[in-house]
């Protein structure tokens, strides 16, 4: 079935439900005492993985839209991207409030002392820029530079799994799997981009009579 603009509202409702359900589950787990012996680390880890999972969903939108010819999916990217930022913000807020207890001087020391926090901070700063400029009005005003800025989402896609990998002390299987998934998705997008570039080049040559 080909999705059209009339399905967009329903798609966004589904996205909201899927994105908010994990937060409800987190709150329930913490309040019921099911967050384990260290609920602070549980919250920090849970929201961080939530941001990474949502980022992976975001990266799959364009390949899926092209593969199944569902162009309407492209219009859901902004919403999913904002949820990436929301989960990342919850992750940062949990770390600053629950772990550091708003000791800002300690935060700067941690950023300088621990490379994985520095990498995570860089990724979050990029997400801030992408979220602030995600509105259609700003996109129109920025013109071509908007796309150049938003291509930095691929930098975020590389930084976040590295942040996850460096943050764990012993269990590296889970972050390793995420790294492989992100590498696969970025490779897929690179291949699609090259194919589209070749297609446009051949089309331009035909139009020019060459």
Residue 3, pLDDT score:
85
Cα(18)–Cα(157) distance, integer angstroms: 21
pLDDT digits (tens, 9 = 90+) for 157-195: 999 999 999 998 777 889 999 999 999 988 887 765 555
Single out the residue of 185, 117, 180 nearest to residue 153, CA to CA: 185
SS3 state at 210: coil
pLDDT confidence of 200, banded at 50, 70, 90?
A: very low
- CB-based contacts of 163, cutoff 8 Å, min separation 6: 116, 117, 119, 120, 123
Report the chain's mean pLDDT, rounded to a whole number.
89
Instruction: Report the number of distinct structural domains present in the chain.
Output: 1
pLDDT digits (tens, 9 = 90+) for 142-156: 998 999 999 999 999
What φ, ψ does residue 169 adopt, rounded to 5°?
Answer: -95, -35
Share of the chain above pLDDT 70, in %: 90
Query: Alpha carbon 40 to chain centroid distance?
Result: 23
- CB-based contacts of 126, cutoff 8 Å, min separation 6: 152, 153, 155, 156, 159
Distances from the Cα of 209 to the Cαs of 196, 198, 199, in angstroms?
A: 20, 17, 15
pLDDT digits (tens, 9 = 90+) for 95-147: 999 999 999 888 889 888 899 999 999 999 999 999 999 998 999 999 989 99
Q: Is the pTM of this model over 0.95?
A: no
Residue 93, pLDDT score:
97
pLDDT digits (tens, 9 = 90+) for 156-165: 999 999 999 9
Residue keyed to tokens 């992976």: 56
Note down the domain range covering 121: 5-207
């Amino acid at each position: 079935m080909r999705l059209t603009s009339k399905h967009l509202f329903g798609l966004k409702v589904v996205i909201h439900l899927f994105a908010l359900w994990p937060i409800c589950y987190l709150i329930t787990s913490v309040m019921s005492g099911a967050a384990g012996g260290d609920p602070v680390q549980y919250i920090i880890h849970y929201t961080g993985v939530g941001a990474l999972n949502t980022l992976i969903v975001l990266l799959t939108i364009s390949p899926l839209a092209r593969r199944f010819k569902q162009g309407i999916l492209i219009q859901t990217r902004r919403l999913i991207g904002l949820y990436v930022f929301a989960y990342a913000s919850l992750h940062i807020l949990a770390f600053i409030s629950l772990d550091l207890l708003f000791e800002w001087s300690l935060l700067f020391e941690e950023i300088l002392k621990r490379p994985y926090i520095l990498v995570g901070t860089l990724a979050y700063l990029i997400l801030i820029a992408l979220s602030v400029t995600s509105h259609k009005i700003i996109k129109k005003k920025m013109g071509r530079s908007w796309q150049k800025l938003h291509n930095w989402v691929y930098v975020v896609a590389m930084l976040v799994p590295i942040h996850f990998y460096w943050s764990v002390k012993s269990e590296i299987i889970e972050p390793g799997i995420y790294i492989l998934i992100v590498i696969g998705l970025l490779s897929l997008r690179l291949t699609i981009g090259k194919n589209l570039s070749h297609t446009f080049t051949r089309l331009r040559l035909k139009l020019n009579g060459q």
